[in-house]
């Protein structure tokens, strides 16, 4: 393909270059992950790279080579352990990431069976067995006459590592089976999330680095040369497959042995494993067709955080073992099974551009425009880069392949650049050039001048009245945290500005039906809903009113503190800088910002005009529509305590949880310190969890948190 001068040839050259970079990068990280138990990028990010590789090789099958990562199972075993040659080759699964992928798998299964099994000619539905896919370390156990003989890691699929001594320390691994059978089984070694928390708490006290995830601990523990360390980690195991049965051969070949009956289906195989004394994940399900499989996958994606083990998907297998035998294997994976992965929290993609976004107070935030990619169940095409220093720290460049992460936020973060994927152009120079922060930004207006904010890493527009900044302020003004005008999203606000219907906050309250009904894409019903939402917002708490004004440095919690202390907007407007700064939780920077904002002539007019349109309820903090504290309740048992929240809660939103905490006389903090009282953790907690361990802050889960809420009313 090299040397071709046509556009097609150039495109193929780029594909070949991308393919080679993918193979080199995947091979390196596969070796780190599977052999050395080191994780420079997450398993999900590695899956994303492999998925792209398979897509390219599918489109260009002539480029597939025997040494491609897509044709391999795993890495080589560590030299420190005795090697064991597997009696049954160990395969890995192909992956499905979407409903379309799993339906395509079902179609392939039916096609092969129709062509190879006479009885399957009129096949309409295939029955499957689905079970949660544990994110642990694969283990292969061999028993002779019902007694554990060896335990080995998967290794490269042909040769593994002898870890028998360590596996014998796992209580859930039977040393003697209920039947004196010869059998080889496969399973997954894992560590409970609760055990990881316990272990990390001990390591934090002794000043040791914390473990990142249960999978790494399980893999590292099984590879410890001292079995006492493995025993102390309290590992667990699930067995999910019979690879070989004495007197039968590989399962699916018929016959029988000892007192055990050879199973005819995958479902019966799991039952037999239980009968022999193995620990099997009890959540496996017989699925009469692929639609039931999809429902099972959706159910487990929603509930996976409730389990004490880590899950990264669902394993799907054709139920009839005779069908499994007929389907057979490809070069690296079974045709009768697939790993149906959950939506990844981390994936890889390419940075196509870096642009600056102007915030409501003029702050310039660099945003990476990405090649669209599916992450955490939604397609994203942008990621925040925060500021110039973050760009330099990551060394992110246009054209880079990056890892993005989405953990609860609408816009994801770039967490790492995969520098191995950079390419060399003419004169042996990298194609990906460092990003240079501009000195002028046209959207700022007034010549586009920008300046670094004193004492911060961020830049802002010198001109405080640019159109872009004004739009951002209006978006915030109508948002849920401020006036909560449902239906007035950014597109509606942009249209109202474009047609010269609003030029200030108060203009929103003067809108009439006749102003809107004739605008493009404004239906009569939607206009009525918008106007109703505006009218419903004419009464607002003092705290929300303060938040709506986009005062620099003033956040939700400080606005609540100001409202509770000063009780009215006039008192806040008249307060001196010293009076503001004397309030607990309000430092000199915030006090100065609030003081000067209310003394600016233009801002005075903004407030005066707004007060003619709305009623500000004196001293009323943010309130929850779903909870009202009984009269006279002060929350005295917990008064003055501080709470932080990390992760997603199931029974309520984080804003609702904050409301309930405030209503009980407690405070919310956004960061962890030794003075923090409690950290409430939901699913996927972030760095606050590690900080809480470091400072010895009490960590409570959602269930315990609800109990505390009730106690606060006693």
Query: Averaged over 4-20, what is the pLDDT?
Result: 76
The matching CATH number, chosen from 3.40.50.2300, 3.30.70.1350, 3.30.470.30, 3.10.580.10, for 95-341 is: 3.30.470.30
pLDDT band at 346 (very low <50, low <70, confident <90, very high): confident
Rounded CA-CA distance 9/3 in Å is 8
Do residues 441 and 448 lie in contact, with contact meaning Cβ atoms separated by under 8 Å? yes
Q: Which residues pair with 128 in a beta bridge?
A: 287, 318
Output the pLDDT for position 545. Answer: 94
pLDDT band at 77 (very low <50, low <70, confident <90, very high): low
Give yes or no for residue 204 having a pLDDT over 70: yes
Topology of domain 541-617 in CATH is DNA polymerase; domain 1 (1.10.150)
- Global confidence as pTM: 0.60
Q: Which residues pair with 339 in a beta bridge?
A: 95, 315
154-199 per-position pLDDT tens digit: 888 888 889 988 898 888 898 889 899 999 999 999 999 888 888 8
Rounded CA-CA distance 619/564 in Å is 5
Given this chain, do its domains 7-72 and 642-711 carry the same CATH topology? no
Average pLDDT, the chain: 84
Give yes or no for residue 3 having a pLDDT over 60: no
CATH class of the domain defined by 7-72: mainly alpha
133 catalytic? Reply is yes
CB count within 10 Å of CB 256 equals: 12
What share of the chain in percent tops pLDDT 70? 89
Output the pLDDT for position 344. Answer: 74
What are the sequence ranges of the domains in the chain? 7-72, 95-341, 345-464, 470-537, 541-617, 642-711
User: Is the Cα torsion angle 565, 665, 631, 629 positive or negative in sign?
Assistant: positive
- Rounded-to-10 torsion of CA 269, 270, 274, 280: 150
Rounded CA-CA distance 173/158 in Å is 23
Of 611, 465, 625, residue with least CA distance to 546: 611
Assigned token pair, 6: 């046509």
What share of the chain in percent tops pLDDT 90? 39
Give yes or no for residue 34 having a pLDDT over 80: no
Output the pLDDT for position 641. Answer: 82
User: Is the Cα torsion angle 197, 202, 207, 208 positive or negative in sign?
Assistant: negative
Query: Averaged over 294-305, what is the pLDDT?
Result: 91
First vs last C-alpha separation in the chain: 77
Output the pLDDT for position 517. Answer: 84
Homologous superfamily in CATH for domain 642-711: BRCT domain (3.40.50.10190)
Query: Averaged over 666-684, what is the pLDDT?
Result: 83
Give yes or no for residue 591 having a pLDDT over 70: yes
112-157 per-position pLDDT tens digit: 998 888 776 677 789 999 999 998 899 999 999 999 999 999 888 8
Rounded CA-CA distance 585/563 in Å is 13
Give yes or no for residue 652 having a pLDDT over 80: no
The single residue listed with the structure tokens 């040397």 is 3
Give yes or no for residue 628 having a pLDDT over 60: no
Do residues 380 and 406 lie in contact, with contact meaning Cβ atoms separated by under 8 Å? yes
Rounded CA-CA distance 609/596 in Å is 19
Contacts of 117 (CB under 8 A, 6+ apart): 322, 323, 326
Topology of domain 345-464 in CATH is OB fold (Dihydrolipoamide Acetyltransferase, E2P) (2.40.50)
List, in sequence order, the alpha helices (H) in 223-320: 227-232, 266-276, 290-303
520-540 per-position pLDDT tens digit: 878 888 899 999 999 999 999
Of the candidate ranges 224-228, 588-592, 676-680, the one whose mean pLDDT is the lowest = 224-228
Phi, psi of 631 (to 5 degrees): -55, 140
Candidate list 21, 50, 133, 138, residue with the active-site label: 133
Domain 470-537 is of which CATH architecture?
Orthogonal Bundle (1.10)
Output the pLDDT for position 250. Answer: 58
407-424 per-position pLDDT tens digit: 544 578 898 999 999 999
Output the pLDDT for position 72. Answer: 58
| 3-class secondary structure per residue, 371-418 | EEEEECCEEEEEEECCCHHHHHHHCCECCCEEEEECCCCCCCEEEEEC
CB count within 10 Å of CB 387 equals: 20
423-481 per-position pLDDT tens digit: 998 888 888 999 998 989 888 888 888 988 887 888 888 888 888 888 999 999 999 88
Give yes or no for residue 403 having a pLDDT over 90: yes
Burial bucket for residue 539 (CB in 10 Å: 0-12, 13-18, 19+)? exposed
Output the pLDDT for position 79. Answer: 63
pLDDT band at 701 (very low <50, low <70, confident <90, very high): confident
């Amino acid at each position: 393909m090299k040397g071709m001068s046509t556009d097609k040839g150039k495109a193929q050259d780029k594909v070949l270059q991308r393919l080679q970079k993918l193979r080199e990068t995947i091979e390196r990280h596969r070796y780190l992950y599977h052999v050395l138990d080191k994780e420079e990028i997450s398993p999900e990010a590695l899956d994303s790279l492999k998925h792209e590789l398979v897509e390219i090789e599918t489109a260009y099958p002539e480029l597939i080579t025997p040494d491609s990562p897509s044709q391999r199972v795993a890495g080589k075993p560590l030299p420190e352990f005795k090697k064991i040659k597997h009696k049954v080759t160990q395969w890995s699964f192909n992956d499905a990431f979407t409903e379309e992928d799993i339906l395509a798998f079902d179609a392939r299964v039916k096609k092969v069976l129709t062509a190879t099994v006479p009885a399957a000619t009129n096949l309409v539905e295939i029955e499957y067995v689905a079970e949660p896919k544990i994110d642990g370390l694969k283990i292969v156990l061999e028993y002779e006459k019902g007694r554990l003989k060896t335990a080995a890691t998967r290794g490269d699929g042909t040769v593994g590592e002898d870890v028998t001594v360590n596996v014998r320390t796992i209580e859930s691994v039977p040393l003697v089976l209920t039947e004196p059978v010869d059998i080889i089984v496969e399973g997954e070694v894992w560590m409970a999330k609760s055990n990881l928390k316990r272990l990390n708490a001990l390591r934090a006290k002794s000043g040791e680095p914390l473990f990142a995830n249960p999978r790494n601990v399980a893999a590292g523990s099984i590879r410890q040369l001292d079995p006492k360390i493995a025993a102390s980690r309290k590992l667990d195991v699930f067995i999910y497959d019979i690879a070989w049965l004495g007197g039968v051969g590989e399962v699916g070949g018929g016959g029988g042995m000892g007192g055990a009956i050879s199973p005819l289906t995958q479902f019966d195989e799991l039952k037999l494993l239980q009968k022999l004394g193995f620990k099997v994940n009890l959540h496996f399900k017989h699925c009469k067709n692929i639609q039931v499989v999809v429902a099972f996958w959706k159910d487990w994606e929603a509930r996976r955080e409730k389990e004490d083990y880590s899950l990264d998907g669902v394993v799907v297998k054709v139920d009839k073992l005779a069908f499994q035998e007929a389907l057979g294997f490809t070069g690296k994976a079974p045709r009768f099974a697939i790993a149906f992965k959950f939506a990844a929290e981390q994936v890889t993609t390419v940075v196509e551009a870096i642009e600056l976004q102007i915030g409501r107070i003029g702050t310039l935030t660099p945003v990476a425009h990405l090649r669209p990619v599916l992450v955490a169940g939604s397609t994203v095409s942008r990621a925040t880069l925060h500021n110039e220093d973050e760009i330099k720290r990551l060394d992110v460049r246009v054209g880079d392949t990056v890892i993005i992460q989405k953990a609860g936020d609408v816009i994801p973060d770039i967490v790492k650049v995969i520098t191995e994927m950079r390419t060399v152009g003419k004169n042996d120079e990298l194609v990906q050039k460092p990003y240079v922060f501009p000195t002028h930004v046209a959207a700022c207006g007034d010549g586009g001048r920008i300046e670094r904010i004193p004492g911060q890493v961020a830049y802002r527009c010198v001109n405080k009245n640019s159109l872009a900044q004004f739009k951002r302020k209006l978006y915030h003004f109508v948002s849920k945290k401020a006036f909560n005008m449902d239906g007035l999203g950014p597109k509606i606000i942009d249209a109202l500005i474009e047609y010269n219907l609003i030029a200030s906050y108060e203009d929103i309250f003067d809108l009439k039906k006749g102003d809107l009904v004739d605008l493009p894409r404004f239906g009569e019903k939607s206009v009525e809903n918008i106007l109703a939402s505006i009218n419903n917002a004419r009464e607002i708490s003092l705290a929300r009113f303060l938040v709506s004004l986009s005062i620099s440095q003033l956040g939700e919690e400080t606005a609540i503190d100001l409202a509770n202390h000063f009780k009215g907007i006039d008192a806040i407007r008249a307060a001196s800088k010293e009076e503001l700064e004397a309030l607990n939780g309000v430092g000199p920077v915030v006090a100065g910002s609030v003081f000067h904002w209310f003394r600016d002539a233009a801002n005075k007019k903004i407030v005066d005009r707004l007060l003619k349109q709305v009623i500000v309820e004196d001293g009323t903090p943010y309130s929850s529509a779903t909870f009202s504290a009984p009269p006279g309740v002060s929350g005295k048992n917990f008064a003055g305590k501080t709470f932080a929240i990390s992760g997603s809660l199931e029974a309520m939103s984080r804003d609702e949880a904050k409301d309930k905490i405030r209503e009980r006389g407690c405070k919310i903090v956004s960061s962890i310190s030794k003075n923090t009282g409690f950290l409430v953790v939901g699913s996927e907690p972030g760095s606050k969890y590690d900080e809480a361990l470091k400072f010895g802050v009490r960590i409570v889960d959602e269930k315990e948190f609800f109990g505390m809420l009730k106690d606060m009313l006693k």
